[in-house]
Structure 1
C-alpha cells in the first residue's frame, strides 16, 4: 500500500543506530557494569556539610514550634503509655508540630535519606506554614570540608522534643530539639538546640564543632548526672559505684544531660534503663566530636543504622574524660555487661 511518499535511509545514520544498539546490548549484559547500574538505582551521594547545615536548620525550626507553647498551656497532652519503669510517657501538640517542621525540613532537602523520628506524621502538619532558612550565620560553616557519602549509608535520627515530661511541668531548661546523622551506623553529626535560650550546639566528628562550651572551665569531677523521670535505681547505684563523695544530680532530657557533660557541669552521664536511640544519637555524635565517649555499660558503641533496634537496653555511660573508669565501676553492679 502506498501512502504517497517514500522513505530514504541515510547509510551513516543507519550505521550509527546499529552501533548504538550494540553498545547498549553490551552494557546491559556486561557483569562488569552491575555495580554501576546498582549505583544508579540505589540513591545518590550526599554532601555531609550541606546535611549538617540542614540538620542545624531543622533543629532550630523545631525549636521555634516548641517555643510557641511557652505561654500557652493548651498543648493537648496525651500519654503514649508507661515505660518499663512505670513512668508516664507523654506527648503534646508541641512534639507533633516540632516533628512536622523538622521532618519536612530534612526530607524536602534530602528525599533520598532515611529519617527516623520519635513522632509519626500527624494531621497537624497541614497547619504548619513554610519557614525560611533558620540559619543566619551560614558564613561560619563554609570553611568546613566537603565530604560526600552514599545516601544508602546515611540514617538521620530526629527527636522533636526531648524532655516532654519536663516541658509539661514548665521546666523548660531541660527541653531540646535534636538531629543526628549516622553513617554506616556510626554517629558523625550531632545537633542539640535549646529553644528556650536559643542556643545550638553541634559537632561533626573529625571536621569541626560549634564553640567549645567548656571555655577552659574545669570539669566537676565529683558530679554525676542521671535521669529525672526515668531514674530507676540509677541514683543509688551510682552512689555505691563511685562513692559517697560524689554528687548525683537528676535532670530531664538526655540532650540536656550530654550538654552538662560537655560544659563541665558533670563528669559523667549515667543511664541504666532502656532508652530510645533518638534520645542519645545526637549526644553520642557530639561527645565524639569533642573527644568524649558514649557507650553501653558493657563498653559497646551504639549502632544507629536503619536496620538496628530503636531501643538500647544496655545502659549508657557518657563522659569527656575517664569514661573507661566510670564504666568499669558501674559494671560491678551489672555483671552481665562485663
Structure 2
C-alpha cells in the first residue's frame, strides 16, 4: 500500500486546483461586463469584483481543507458568508505524482503560511491588458518561500480560435517548476523586467545605468516572474526594480519560482524575502492591509 502524499504536495495540489477555479471566476467576471471597480488608495491601486470573489474562493477552500493553516490575503475583506459554488475541494493528480523533497516531508500544517494575491495586475485587468493578469498562491515554511502556484487566466488569449485559454505554473524548491517551458536567454544579453504602471525617475535612471539590451515592462509580480522563467532562465538578469516596494502577497508566491530554477532572481547574492507566521488562534485568514484575523 503506497504512503499518503506529504502535506506540502497535497497543499500544492489543492492550490493548483483552486487556482484553476480562480481562473474561471476571473474570466466570468470579465465576460459579465461589471468589474465592480473600487479605488483602495488611488487610481493605481484598484480592487475589482474578481479580486474579492477569488480571494474568498482561495482562502475559504484552503481553510476548509487545511484548517490549521495561516492564510494571508491581499484584500481587506469583511467577514461574510461564502457561497458553496466558490469552494474548490479537488486536488491536481498531476502534482500528486511527484514525491515531496525530503526536507519538507515532515512539515506540520500549522507551520505553513499561505500568501494569496487573488488578482495580480488588477489595473491591467481593468484596462483590458489581460495577459498581464495572474493569480498567486505561495507557501512559506520557517519564514521562507518553499512552493508556489501562478495561474495566468488569459494566457494564449490572443492566439486565435482553438487555442487553450489559461495555464497554471507550479513549483516546489528542490523539486522543480512545472507548467512552463524554460528557455535559455541569448548569450551575453542583459534583459530587465520591470514595472509597467508604477514607474518613476529612479526606476528609469536605474534601467539606464544597467545598460540593458532589452527592457520588458509588464504589470503584476506574477507576470514578471513568468516572463523571466520563459525568457531568461536566470542568467543573472534583473527583475522588477520596485520589488522591495511590492506587497508580500505579490512577492511571496512568485519569489520561489526563480529560486527553484537555481537563482535568487535579483542580482543581490544570498538575499531572499523572509515571511513569518503571525501568532493567532487557528484556523485563521489574515487580510494584509490591517492583518485582521478572521475565523473561516
Residue 147 of structure 2 is matched in structure 1 by 189
C-alpha spacing 1:247/1:238, structure 2 compared with 1 (3 Å): farther
Q: Deviations over 1:195-249 (max 9, x none)?
A: 1232111110012331552245647833211111112235422333212x53323
Instruction: Give the number of the structure whose residues are more often helix, by fraction.
Output: 1
Residue 250 of structure 2 is matched in structure 1 by 279
Uncovered stretches (5+) of structure 1, i.e. residues with no partner: 1-45, 312-338
Aligned positions of 1:122-161 closer than 5 A: 122=78, 126-127=82-83, 129-131=85-87, 133=89, 138-139=93-94, 141-145=96-100, 147-161=105-119
Higher RCO (CA 8 Å, separation ≥ 6 residues): 2
Uncovered stretches (5+) of structure 2, i.e. residues with no partner: 1-5, 156-165, 280-287, 290-296
- 1:306: how far off? 2.2
- Which runs of structure 1 show a deviation greater than 3 angstroms over 4 or more consecutive aligned residues? 120-128, 130-135, 215-220, 294-300
**Which residue, out of 101, 104, 123, partners 1:165?**
123
State whether structure 2 residue 235 is matched by structure 1 residue 268.
Answer: no
**Which residue, out of 178, 186, 208, partners 2:136?**
178
- 1:102: how far off? 0.6
- In structure 2, how many angstroms separate the alpha carbons of the residues matched to 1:226 and 1:142? 35
C-alpha spacing 1:224/1:78, structure 2 compared with 1 (3 Å): same
C-alpha spacing 1:191/1:219, structure 2 compared with 1 (3 Å): farther
Aligned length: 259
On the 8 A contact 1:75/1:94 being kept in 2, the answer is: yes
Residue 205 of structure 1 is matched in structure 2 by 173
Q: Deviations over 1:152-185 (max 9, x none)?
A: 3211100100000000001110000010000011
- In structure 2, how many angstroms separate the alpha carbons of the residues matched to 1:188 and 1:74? 36
C-alpha spacing 1:150/1:173, structure 2 compared with 1 (3 Å): same
- In structure 2, how many angstroms separate the alpha carbons of the residues matched to 1:195 and 1:162? 11
Give the root-mean-square deviation of aligned CA atoms. Answer: 2.8
